[in-house]
C-alpha cells in the first residue's frame, strides 16, 4: 500500500506525490544548482496569528526556475500546530505566496520541497516559533467529592492557557486543608483517615489555583472477597477477576473503590522477573509463565488469589513453498485470487521502477509462473486490487511522465492476457497511492489528501460519484479498506475514520454486530452511500503514524476491533540510492470499537527493532508485514490486553533472504495475504513468496 515515511517526514509523504518528475524541458538544471529563497527566513507568531511568506525556487543565476513544490510543517504534532496555505504550488510552479496560521505553541520548521525523484529533490527550511500563551486556569478532572476513610482516590488536573489550550508538562502542587482528616501526596493520591471535610487545592506557579471540597465518610467496608474463573491460564490469556465488597451485615457496598495489584515469581529461574498486569477493571494478563499473586484492596481490607500461568506453546515452523522472482526492481503490493477458470493467480506492483504490474499463475505455488506484464506510464504501481468476481483489476499510478497519474482499470478474466479497459485521471493527476474495490466502485486515495469513489459499473467508462476529505489543518489519508459498506480510512495524524459508504440502514445498529453481541448498543444515523459518504466514528492516537487499518470481529468475545497499523522510519531512508538495508518502526494498535462513541486502545503487537506495514486478519490470526522484521503470524483469539508480542502470541515468523535481491539478503516485507492454507507475501527487495506453517518437530531428550 505505501512505502517510506518517518515521523519527521509524515506529512511530506502525504503531499510529495502531488506531481511527478519535472518535465524534460527542466532536466538541464540539476538539483545541485537549485535553491529555495524564503522571505522572511524565520517566523515567530502568537496563537491565531497569520503571516504571509514568499517562496521562490531559483537556479544558479538567481532566476526563478519553474517546477512545482510542496509546503509543510516539520516537528512533533506540527501538522495540527500550523496551518499552511496553499500546500502545493500547482503548475508550473517556481514561486508561491504562502500563509501560515498558528494553532498550537511550539518550535517547528516550515519545509519546502520539490517533487519528483527522491534522490533529486531540493529542500528549503525556515524555523517557525509559535509563542506559548500565559497560563490562565487549572481544573480538576472528574474529582471524587466523597471518599471513605481508609480508601484512596486519585485527583487529576488539567492546565489551560490564555488561548484556552490544554498545556502538558506543567508542575501542579496538591495540598489538603486538614492532613489529619485526609492527606494527598505529590502524585495526587488522596487517602481518607477519619470522618470529616477537607479542601483539596491544586496550584501552579503564578498564583493560579483551584479547589474542591471532599467529604470523608465513615467506611462501611467489613470484608473483601476476590474471585477468579480459573486457577491456571496461558500467557496472553485475559482473566477477569471480580471483587465483592461487603459491610458488617454482608450486604454489598456498591460504591466501594477497589484497587488491584499483582506480584509474581517466574517459572524459569533464568528469567529476571515475572511480568503481568491488572487494571482497575480487574482484567489480568501475564507475559511470562510463573505463579502470580493478585491482591484486591478496598479501604483497609484486602483479599488475594494465586494464579498459575503456563507457556502458550503455539509456535510453528515455516516452510518456503515457492518464490516468484522479480528481483530486478522493487516490488510493492500484491493480491491473490481464484480466477474465473478456477486457477489461482497473483498480481504484484512495482515501486520506483518502470510502471509494471506483474501477473503470476500460482496454481502450483512451488512453480510460480510469470504469465503477463502490464506496463503503464508510471514509475510506481503502488497498489493492485482484484474485484470479488475475479474479472476486474485496478492498479494505481504515480510518477507518470505526463503527470496524468490516476488509476488503470483492467480486464483480468484471462490473467494470461490482461487487457487495459480504461484509465481514469480526472482530478487524480497528483497520483493515486492506494485503492479498494467494493461492489461496482473503486475507492482511490487521491493525492494522499482525500479518497474518491469512482463508479466502474461500466469498467470502460468510469466516473466519479463522490469524494471524502477531512477539513482538519494539513489533513491527509494514506489508505482505505472497505468491508460490508464501511470504509476504514487511515489518516495519519487524524487517525482512523469509519465512514458509511452503503453499510447502514438509518436508525439501525452498526452493521450486524448487534446480533452477535447485545453490548453493542450504539445507534448510528448514517445513511451513507458511495455518492454520499458519511463519517460516524473515529479514533486518534498520539504518534500520528496511522498508515493502515483492518476491521476484525472477535466471535469468541463479541468485541469489534479495528487494527490500526503504524509506518515510520525514524532512523532515516537510504536504500533507494545507496541500496542499504532499512530499519522501520511502529506497531499495530488494537482499537476496541464495540462502543463506537468511546473506542479504546486495548492491545498492541510490536516487534522490537522493526516496523509494521500492511496486514490481514482471518480466523483469529493476524498476518502482518513488519518490513525488515519479515512476516509475522499472531494468535489474536480471545480477549486482548497489553503487549501481544511479549505474551508469546506469535505463532511464527519468517525473514525472506535472497542473495540477488535489489538489496541483497535484506528482508523488506510489504504485504501478506493468507490464501488456501498458504501465506503469500511480497517483499520489496526479493519479490513474491509463498510459505506455509508446519508443526515443529518433537524435541529429542537425552545427551
pLDDT score at 11: 35
pLDDT score at 24: 33
pLDDT score at 12: 38
pLDDT score at 404: 84
pLDDT score at 646: 96
Tell me yes or no: is domain 10-130 CATH 2.60.40.3450.
Answer: yes
Q: CA-to-CA distance for 343 and 281, rounded, in angstroms? A: 51
- The correct CATH number of 223-310 out of 2.60.40.1080, 1.10.150.170, 3.60.15.10, 2.60.120.260 is 2.60.40.1080
R_g of the chain, CA atoms, integer Å: 28
Q: What residues in the chain have per-residue pLDDT under 70?
A: 1-31, 76, 116-119, 326, 504-526, 574-577, 701-703
Q: Write the CA distances from 269 to 31, 323, 459, integer angstroms.
A: 60, 42, 64
* Two domains, one topology: 10-130 and 152-217: yes
Q: How far is CA 333 from the centre of its chain?
A: 18
pLDDT score at 594: 85
Domain boundaries, the chain: 10-130, 152-217, 223-310, 317-694
Q: How far is CA 437 from the centre of its chain?
A: 21
Which residues 6+ apart lie within 8 Å of 373 measured at CB?
A: 356, 357, 358, 359
Q: Write the CA distances from 662 to 146, 326, 413, integer angstroms.
A: 66, 9, 31
Give the CATH class of 317-694.
mainly beta
pLDDT score at 34: 92
pLDDT score at 14: 36
pLDDT score at 13: 38
The model's pTM is: 0.90
H-helix or E-strand spanning residue 333:
strand 330-338
Give the CATH class of 152-217.
mainly beta
Amino acid at each position: 500500500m505505501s512505502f517510506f515515511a518517518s515521523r519527521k517526514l509524515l506529512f511530506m509523504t502525504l503531499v510529495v506525490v502531488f506531481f511527478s518528475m519535472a518535465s524534460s524541458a527542466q532536466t538541464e538544471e540539476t538539483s545541485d544548482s537549485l535553491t529555495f529563497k524564503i522571505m522572511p527566513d524565520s517566523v515567530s507568531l502568537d496563537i491565531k496569528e497569520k503571516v504571509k511568506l514568499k517562496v521562490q525556487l531559483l537556479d544558479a543565476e538567481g532566476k526563478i526556475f519553474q517546477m512545482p513544490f510542496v509546503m509543510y510543517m516539520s516537528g512533533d504534532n506540527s501538522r495540527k500546530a500550523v496551518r499552511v496555505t496553499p500546500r502545493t504550488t500547482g503548475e508550473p510552479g517556481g514561486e508561491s505566496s504562502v500563509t501560515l496560521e498558528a494553532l498550537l505553541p511550539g518550535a517547528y520548521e516550515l519545509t519546502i520541497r520539490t517533487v519528483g525523484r527522491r534522490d533529486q529533490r531540493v529542500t528549503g527550511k525556515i524555523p517557525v516559533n509559535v509563542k506559548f500563551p500565559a497560563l490562565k486556569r487549572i481544573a480538576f478532572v472528574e474529582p471524587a467529592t466523597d471518599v471513605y476513610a481508609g480508601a484512596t482516590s486519585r485527583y487529576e488536573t488539567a492546565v489551560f492557557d490564555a488561548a484556552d489550550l490544554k498545556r502538558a508538562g506543567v508542575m501542579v502542587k496538591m495540598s489538603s486543608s486538614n492532613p489529619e482528616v485526609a492527606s494527598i501526596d505529590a502524585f495526587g493520591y488522596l487517602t481518607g483517615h477519619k470522618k470529616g471535610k477537607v479542601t483539596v487545592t491544586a496550584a501552579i506557579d503564578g498564583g493560579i489555583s483551584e479547589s474542591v471540597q471532599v467529604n470523608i465518610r465513615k467506611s462501611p467496608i467489613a470484608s473483601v472477597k476476590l474471585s477468579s474463573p480459573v486457577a491456571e491460564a496461558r500467557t496472553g490469556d485475559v482473566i477477569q477477576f471480580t471483587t465483592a465488597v461487603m459491610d458488617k451485615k454482608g450486604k454489598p457496598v456498591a460504591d466501594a473503590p477497589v484497587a488491584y495489584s499483582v506480584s509474581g515469581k517466574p517459572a524459569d529461574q533464568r528469567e529476571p522477573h515475572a511480568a503481568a498486569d491488572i487494571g482497575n477493571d480487574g482484567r489480568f494478563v501475564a507475559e511470562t509463565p510463573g505463579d502470580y499473586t493478585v491482591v484486591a484492596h478496598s479501604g483497609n481490607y484486602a483479599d488475594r488469589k494465586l494464579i498459575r500461568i503456563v507457556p502458550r506453546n503455539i509456535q510453528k515452523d515455516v516452510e518456503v513453498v515457492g518464490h516468484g522472482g522479480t528481483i530486478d526492481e522493487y516490488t510493492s503490493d500484491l493480491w491473490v485470487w481464484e480466477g474465473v477458470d478456477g486457477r489461482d493467480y497473483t498480481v504484484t506492483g512495482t515501486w520506483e521502477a518502470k510502471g509494471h504490474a506483474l501477473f503470476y499463475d500460482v496454481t502450483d505455488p512451488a512453480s510460480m509462473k510469470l504469465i503477463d506484464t502490464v506496463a503503464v506510464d508510471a514509475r510506481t504501481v503502488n497498489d493492485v486490487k482484484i474485484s470479488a468476481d475475479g474479472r476486474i483489476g485496478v492498479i494505481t499510478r504515480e510518477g507518470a511522465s505526463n503527470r496524468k497519474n490516476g488509476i488503470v482499470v483492467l480486464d483480468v478474466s484471462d490473467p494470461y492476457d490482461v487487457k487495459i479497459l480504461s484509465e481514469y485521471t480526472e482530478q487524480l493527476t497528483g497520483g493515486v497511492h492506494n485503492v479498494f474495490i467494493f461492489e461496482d466502485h473503486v475507492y482511490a486515495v487521491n493525492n494522499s489528501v482525500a479518497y474518491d469513489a469512482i463508479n466502474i459499473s461500466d469498467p470502460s467508462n468510469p466516473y466519479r460519484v463522490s469524494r471524502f476529505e477531512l477539513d482538519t489543518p494539513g489533513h491527509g489519508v494514506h489508505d482505505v479498506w472497505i468491508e460490508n459498506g464501511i470504509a476504514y480510512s487511515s489518516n495519519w495524524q487524524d487517525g482512523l475514520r469509519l465512514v458509511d459508504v452503503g453499510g447502514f440502514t438509518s436508525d439501525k445498529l452498526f452493521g450486524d454486530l448487534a446480533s452477535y453481541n447485545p453490548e453493542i448498543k450504539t445507534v448510528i444515523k448514517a445513511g451513507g452511500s458511495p455518492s454520499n459518504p458519511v463519517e460516524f466514528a473515529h479514533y486518534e492516537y498520539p504518534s500520528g503514524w496511522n498508515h493502515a487499518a483492518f476491521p476484525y470481529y472477535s466471535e469468541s468475545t463479541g468485541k469489534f476491533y479495528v487494527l490500526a497499523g503504524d509506518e515510520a522510519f525514524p532512523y532515516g531512508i537510504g536504500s533507494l540510492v545507496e541500496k542499504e538495508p532499512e530499519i522501520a518502526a511502529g506497531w499495530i494498535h488494537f482499537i476496541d470499537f464495540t462502543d463506537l462513541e468511546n473506542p479504546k486502545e486495548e492491545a498492541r503487537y510490536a516487534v522490537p527493532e522493526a516496523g509494521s506495514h500492511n496486514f490481514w486478519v482471518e480466523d483469529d490470526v493476524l498476518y502482518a508485514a513488519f518490513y525488515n522484521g519479515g512476516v509475522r503470524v499472531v494468535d489474536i483469539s480471545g480477549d486482548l490486553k497489553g503487549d501481544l508480542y511479549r505474551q508469546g502470541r506469535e505463532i511464527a515468523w519468517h525473514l525472506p533472504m535472497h542473495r540477488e535481491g535489489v538489496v541483497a539478503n535484506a528482508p523488506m516485507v510489504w504485504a501478506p495475504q493468507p490464501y488456501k492454507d498458504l501465506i503469500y507475501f511480497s517483499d520489496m527487495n526479493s519479490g513474491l513468496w509463498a510459505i506455509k506453517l508446519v508443526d515443529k518437530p518433537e524435541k529429542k531428550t537425552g545427551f
